[in-house]
Structure 1
Amino acid sequence: MEFQPTLSFFDDDKAGTFQPHDDALVVTFRIGEYNVKKVLVDQGSGAEIMYPDLYKGLKLKPKDLVSYDSPLVGFDGKTVIPKGQIRLPIQAGSVVVEVDFIMMDAYSFYTAIMARSWLHAMMAVSSTLHLKVKYPSGDQVEELIGSQALAKQCLVAAIRHQSEGESLATREKSL
């Protein structure tokens, strides 16, 4: 009989967070020898997405990508054609899983988005209230802890980017 650790969240799991909050679950994990910050864990997303900062930071080249030509819709509602797809090993704690990232050549305040397929591959459960991802590792439960500071940085960047875009649109209309 195999032991399966229980993945659950308690009030103690909120320790270290400022409550109440509505922050996104933004984490750091490893890809190869790099600690990758500003990664959004989004249960609502169906695809793992990589943005240009991560692509360049990992020193990836166009030849590393395989074709992926299905258009995706971004947070801003615009349709974007991906540059390609790449499979990379992602390490969270002691667990490593292979992830198929879709490379988007679009602005984002996140470096990547981890979606349901990554959570399922990790056999993980995430909680935005507790700002944690819990997953089994052998007979133990490991956790990936989100950063409220990084979540707030991403939110501020998004607001600035949106207001800059609106300012540009207003200027273009007046020309």
Structure 2
Amino acid sequence: MEGIEFPHNDALVVTLRVANSIVKRVMIDGGSSADVLFWSTFKRMKLDEKEIQPNPTPIYAFEGMKAQPIGDVTLPVIAAGKTLFVTFVVVDAPSAYNAIMGRNWIHRMDGEASTRCQVIRCISEDGRTTIDIKWDQVEARRCYSIATNPKAATSQQSEDL
């Protein structure tokens, strides 16, 4: 747990390769039943809107707010030496994050996510070793700042992936 200041209350935020983009500010959320890609991120990734499939099922945020997805898109996510095709729910909503990876992705990665240790420990393809996906403390704290300052959210969302 080198480099982690205790006690901390940071979200588990990592950087992942999604399709052909390096995407920062990806929150790992074991409480989420969906993998979410935010519309602003989708547009910055310059993905083809024609790839989005209709999804009539609304999703609900932790505070109970209902959001109607734009649709679903399936994209490759590369991490810890594995490539998984993930179906993201594309949502047009403000967020400090570019994407949220939920339980399904964590389990498919053969991973254990630890917010305390700020790591996702995954079993390698051959099952012999573990590979760690480490947190990005700078981005985690940036997300916290965006989430707690609405003025910052507007300016930060339009920045890099």
Normalised by the size of structure 1, how large is the TM-score?
Answer: 0.81
Structure 1's unaligned 5+ residue stretches are 1-13, 165-175
**1:34 Cα offset (Å):** 1.6
% of aligned pairs identical? Answer: 32
- Contact in 1 for aligned 2:145/2:152 (Cα 8 Å): no
Letter in 2 for 1:38: R
Matches within 5 A, 1:1-175: 14-137=1-124, 138=126, 139-161=128-150
**1:33 Cα offset (Å):** 2.9
Q: Please give the alpha-carbon distance, in whole angstroms, between the structure 2 residues aligned to 1:24 and 1:108.
A: 14
Letter in 1 for 2:49: P
Normalised by the size of structure 2, how large is the TM-score?
Answer: 0.88
Q: Please give the alpha-carbon distance, in whole angstroms, between the structure 2 residues aligned to 1:96 and 1:19.
A: 33
Q: Please give the alpha-carbon distance, in whole angstroms, between the structure 1 residues aligned to 2:29 and 2:147.
A: 16
**Superimposed CA distance per residue, residues 71-101 of structure 1 (whole angstroms, 9 cap, x where no aligned partner):** 1122453211000001111011311111110
Letter in 2 for 1:15: E
Q: Which moved more, 1:74-83 or 1:144-153?
A: 74-83
Q: Please give the alpha-carbon distance, in whole angstroms, between the structure 2 residues aligned to 1:33 and 1:60.
A: 9
Q: Please give the alpha-carbon distance, in whole angstroms, between the structure 1 residues aligned to 2:8 and 2:113.
A: 16
- Contact in 1 for aligned 2:29/2:101 (Cα 8 Å): yes
**1:148 Cα offset (Å):** 1.8
**1:111 Cα offset (Å):** 0.3
Structure 1 partner of 2:158: none
Q: Please give the alpha-carbon distance, in whole angstroms, between the structure 1 residues aligned to 2:53 and 2:75.
A: 12
**Superimposed CA distance per residue, residues 95-145 of structure 1 (whole angstroms, 9 cap, x where no aligned partner):** 111111000011111000000000111110010000000101122210100
Q: Which moved more, 1:107-116 or 1:32-41?
A: 32-41
Structure 2 partner of 1:9: none
Give structure 1 regions of 4+ aligned residues with deviation exceeding 3 angstroms: none
> Is the partner of 2:149 in helix, strand or coil?
helix
Rg: which structure is higher? 1
Structure 2's unaligned 5+ residue stretches are 154-161
